[in-house]
Amino acid sequence: MNIVVAMKQIPDLQQIRIRNRKPVLDGVPAALGIIDKNALEAAVLIKESQGGKVIVLSAGNEEVEETVKEALAAGADEAFLVLDDELDGADGSVKALVLAEAIRKIEDVGLILFGEGSGDNYSGQVGSRVAELLGLPQVGYARSIEINDSSAVIVRSLEDGDEIIEVSLPVIVNVLGDINEPRIPSVTQILKAGKKLKEVLELEDLAIDLTGLPEINMVSNLAPETDRKQVKVSSVDELLQALKTEGVI
Amino acid sequence: MAGVLVYSTKQGLALELISAARKIDETVWAVSINDDNLAQALAAAGARVFKISNPDLTVADTGAVAAAIKQVLDKVNTDVVLLSSDRRGKELAGRLAQVIGAGCLTDVTAINVEGSKIECQRNALGGATIATQYIEGPKVIAIRPRAYEAAGAGNGSVEELAVEIKGAAIKVIDFKPKAADTVNIEAAEILVAVGQGLSDEAKLTDIQDLAARLGGEVACSKPLATDKKWLSEERIIGLSGKKCKPQLALLLGISGQVQFTVGIRDARVIAAINTDENAAINYMADYIMQADLHDVIKELNEKL
């Protein structure tokens, strides 16, 4: 059984600076989505206990070929990439069509994993869209996954409790950020990652029509205004006095 | 466009969606799935409810729910859907959007109607920015809990609707309710929030003591609950936790990563106590004290 892990290349959020309330993305290095790494770890753990192959799937600009090495070092066996500048920052509806079509080209897929949301946009819609496109069942917010031959038992964590679900494979699962602790690859693994198999396609290699999709338009994207006082206090008494003056204690 | 369709499995959130929908259109349609009480409550708030009763349909099966809602949309001929951005709603949002060929925005904190556009605000870039976006064409918009007040009384109706569903793809074999910690940090006027600056779990009693003296609740940054498990996940402030608007947020040993601050930036007064004078949190605090939080807590507990 092959396990596909969809991973998104995002700007390294720690390195985004704000200037005049606008995010500065120039020169910010690319990274893989934080929760996507939990999805990868979940896949690698299943592979280690039950066999199979972990294939990391990503769609984006040409930098993805470099960014994805981190996933290959952390346990993915192969990468399946769709690279095109047009996919850089593309909407979820576009990404979903691309990912679904790519998954159709991969044999013997039993499990398709996503993170609960991408690190940058955290919209959480692409996995659901891919599930619909492929006509597969989906389970979101998974805190554990157990594979038994042709089915899986998955714990879906909701606000008010845990739902234990039985579902036949293949299935799409969005994992929670706290499902596991992703491993840190060793130097040897990082060196070997470059040699792992990468299948690279371009958009035109896929039989999909990206015209007529709904459009999401951006009116503005600004850091919230902060008008905090930023008053330094040097003692507990001073702090208490300030909070009393504010009328909050 | 003929009205707006709202759907949530939770009554409180569905009532909030009715309020949000009225900003867009007077006519509000709603769906209830195997839940008579929900149908009645939404009708009592003025919605025209389609009540679906079908033992083959479980709300745990996102694909089946999306297929059912599509059948409602075909009947009322609208292409604007509001969902709740809780976990059920977010999981459904993308799937329903794909079924009806819609654009989709989730975790929306506010909507504003500008002419024919429905402008939606949501956090972007991990919470560093607030994006204002609108969808051209059919729309599925998932709205964050408590972004709108629950709708008041109105004159709605309930109509039963039969839907066709394929066999269930998902079987719920058990449900384990969460152990009731039952704290609601979103309702607290005063929050005492701790982060990774807290040295050990035993010191939590001092934090709890301080919160009690102030008449507030204890909250925390995510690592304290998910990594260290010192506090329950209900107390997490931030992007993947709660968004809080207390009168006072006392932040102890919190560095102020944006994933945290997005959940507290609406507080009226923020006081931050931290050993790092360059901590990011200092830029969004009203009062900054550079000190060891353990000393400060001790002194606060003595003086309050």
Per-residue pLDDT of chain A (249 residues; tens, 9 = 90+): 999 999 999 999 878 888 888 999 899 999 999 999 999 999 999 999 999 999 999 999 999 999 999 999 999 999 999 999 999 989 999 999 999 999 999 999 999 999 999 988 889 999 999 999 999 999 999 999 999 989 999 999 999 999 999 999 999 999 999 899 999 999 999 999 999 999 999 999 999 999 989 999 999 999 888 789 999 999 999 999 999 999 999
Could you tell me if residue B115 is inside a domain?
yes
Nearest CB among A127, A216, A219 relative to B94 is that of A127
Separation CA B106–CA B123 (nearest Å) = 10
B124 and B195 part of one domain: no
Mean pLDDT of the region B220-247? 91
| Residue B178 belongs to some domain of the structure | no
Domain ranges (residues) in chain A:
2-219
- In angstroms, the separation between the Cα of residue A129 and the nearest Cα of chain B is 5
- Residue matched to tokens 């006027």: B189
At A7 the pLDDT is 98
pLDDT at A121: 85
Nearest by CB to residue B103, choosing from A127, A128, A215, is: A215
Q: Determine which of A99-103, B29-33, B128-132 has the lowest per-residue pLDDT on average.
A: B128-132
B148 shares a domain with B8: yes
Answer with the one of B160, B175, B209 that is the final residue of a domain. B160
CA angle B266, B134, B128 (to 5 degrees): 35
Chain A to chain B Cβ contacts (< 8 Å): 239
Which of B103, B125, B268 is closest, CB to CB, to A214?
B103
Nearest CA in chain B to A233: B289
Tell me the backbone φ, ψ of residue A137, rounded to 5 degrees: -70, 160
Residues of A in contact with B123 (CB under 8 A): 122
Q: CB of B282 within 8 Å of any CB in chain A?
A: yes
- Sheet of B157-160, strands arranged across: B103-108, B139-143, B80-84, B4-7, B28-33, B48-52, B157-160
Task: With beta carbons less than 8 A apart as the criterion, state whether B83 and B96 touch.
Answer: yes
Note down the domain range covering B77: 4-160
pLDDT for residue B1 is more than 80: no
- Domain co-membership, B212 together with B252: yes
| Per-residue pLDDT, A98 | 98
Domain at B265, CATH number: 3.40.50.1220
**Tens digits of residue pLDDT in B52-61:** 999 999 999 9
The pLDDT score that the predictor gives to residue B303 is: 94
- Each residue of B137-176: pLDDT tens digit? 999 999 999 899 999 999 999 999 999 998 888 999 999 9
Most confident region among A182-191, B35-44, B237-246 by mean pLDDT: B35-44
Same domain membership, residue B154 and residue B196: no
Interface-testing mutation among B70, B91, B294, with chain A (most A C-beta atoms within 10 A): B91
Q: Is residue B14 included in any domain, yes or no?
A: yes
Mutation pick from B144, B174, B303 vs chain A, by most beta carbons of A within 10 Å, is B174
> Same domain for B149 and B8?
yes
Does the distance separating the beta carbons of A233 and B289 come in below 8 Å?
Answer: yes
Q: What percent of chain B has pLDDT over 90?
A: 87
Say whether pLDDT at B26 is over 90. yes
Across-strand partners of B7? B83
pLDDT, position B174:
97
Query: For an interface test with A, which of B265, B289, B301 has the most A Cβ atoms less than 10 Å from its Cβ?
Result: B289
CB contact under 8 A, B103 and A159: no
Which residues 83-122 in chain B show a CB within 8 A of chain A? 86-88, 90-95, 97-99, 101-107, 119
CATH number, span A2-219: 3.40.50.620
Q: What is the mean pLDDT of residues B283-291?
A: 95
Quick one: CA torsion of B170, A49, A184, A35, rounded to 10 degrees? 0
Model pLDDT, residue B98: 98
**Co-location of B154 and B263 in the same domain:** no
Query: A159 and B269: CB-CB below 8 Å?
Result: no
Both B217 and B294 in a single domain? yes
Q: Supply the mean pLDDT for chain B.
A: 94
Say if B133 falls within a structural domain. Answer: yes
CATH number at residue B45: 3.40.50.620
Quick one: B282 and B229 in the same domain? yes
Q: Which residue of A has its CA nearest to B222?
A: A178
Task: Specify if B250 maps to a domain.
Answer: yes
Contact A37, A145 (CB under 8 A): no
Which B positions 170-199 lie with beta carbon below 8 A of chain A?
Answer: 170-178, 190
